A and B are shown apart, each in its own frame.
Chain A
Amino acid sequence: MAEYVILFAGPMGAGKTTALRSLSEIEVVSTEAVNSDRSRNDKPTTTVALDYGEIDLDPDKVRLYGVPGQERFDFMWEILRDRAMGLIVLVNADAPEPERHVYEHLTAFAELANRGGVVVGVTRYDIQRTDIGDRIVATARAVVPDRVTPVFAVDARDQEQMRTLLLSLIADIETRQALAEATG
């Protein structure tokens, strides 16, 4: 049995809180506040501290943390990234330049992406179908050149899709641990 600590990062409105709620088997600890800046992102609430949830992927136990997407809260990124073992970067396809968000958030969490595992999930594809797949793959390769970063199109509201994303991240972490043991 292993324990994993997984971090959800990505811009405001990407669906970090939604994804964590889709996945968690315990009631999520959330810190939503009324969103004052509806011009930036027209949703009622935004995360100001963290989200916390848990899921049992027998035999593994996974702790899920979500960070606030707004850079104003980047001190929480620093607090949470050190204890994490894997990173899920979510970006919403209906943002103006989704690959720029991939770049910024992968860069902010590059140490974790290199140390642990990383996957990218592109949400809200049903709202805005784009041809950004290649650009996102290229961006991920530029920030994390030494490894392959899987990129998925997912709906953060869909438990099955989020499970697939999470399982592929955990497989990635395990593969890298096995490789490190074999060569170390």
Chain B
Amino acid sequence: MTTAPPLHRDPAIVAAAERAIAELADRCSTLEAAAVTSDDGFRVAGIHGAAGDANRLASMTSTTQALGEAIIRELDLGDASHVAVAGTRGALLVRRIGSHKLVLVAVFAPASVDDGRIARGVAKRLAHTLDAVLEHRDS
């Protein structure tokens, strides 16, 4: 058995994540930064604006996701959906990609009412793509 590379260095996963980020950027004109990261905060793919450091955004994304899931677990609120954090200039959304050990972050400035729905759709399609990639590999 050969050991698979870590998610953030797996070419098929990186390529699928890049396409998902491109789709998100295409559909959201106010997208300021976005990334797909591993659960432990390594950047798989992403785009980022002038503000901030891409690796730091990846670390903070995994922290936010883990805290969100821990709180949902503590309060017994079922399955975690997403974490939203909003400021006066914009907002960010963090959500798990299906049941993969991967997280999507999207930063919108300014935020709009459609952001959540679009990010959810992108994450869902990426999850399906990755399901197929990994299933293909197992067989």
Contact = CB atoms under 8 A, between A and B. Distances in A.
Contacts of B101: 33-34
Contacts of B64: 49
Interface residues of B, number: 21
A149 interface: no
Nearest to B55: A72
B83 to A, nearest CB: 11
* B38, B59, B60: most-surrounded residue (chain A CB, <10 A): B59
Nearest to A32: B66
Interface stretch (B14-22, B39-47, B86-94, B128-136): B39-47
B63 A31 contact: yes
A173 B69 CA distance: 34
Contacts of B74: 29
Given A48-B62, A73-B59, A33 B70 contact: no
B41 A33 contact: yes
Given A33-B101, A75-B59, A48 B41 contact: yes
B56 interface: yes
B6 interface: yes
B84 interface: no
Interface string A23-49: 000000111111111100000001011
Contacts of A33: 38-41, 62, 66, 101
Nearest to A37: B6
Given A29-B70, A30-B70, A36-B40, A76 B6 contact: no
A31 B70 contact: yes
A36 B8 contact: yes
12 contacts: A33-B38, A33-B62, A33-B101, A34-B101, A36-B38, A48-B39, A48-B59, A48-B62, A50-B67, A72-B59, A75-B60, A76-B63
B7 interface: yes
B67 A46 contact: no
Given A36-B8, A72-B59, A73-B59, A46 B70 contact: no
B66 A49 contact: yes
B59 to A, nearest CB: 4
Contacts of A31: 63, 66-67, 69-70
A45 B40 CA distance: 8
Contacts of A32: 66
A49 B63 contact: yes
Contacts of B40: 33-37, 46, 48
B67 A49 contact: yes
A35 to B, nearest CB: 6
The 10 closest A-B pairs by CB, nearest first: A31-B66, A33-B39, A36-B6, A33-B40, A49-B63, A72-B59, A49-B66, A49-B67, A48-B62, A48-B66
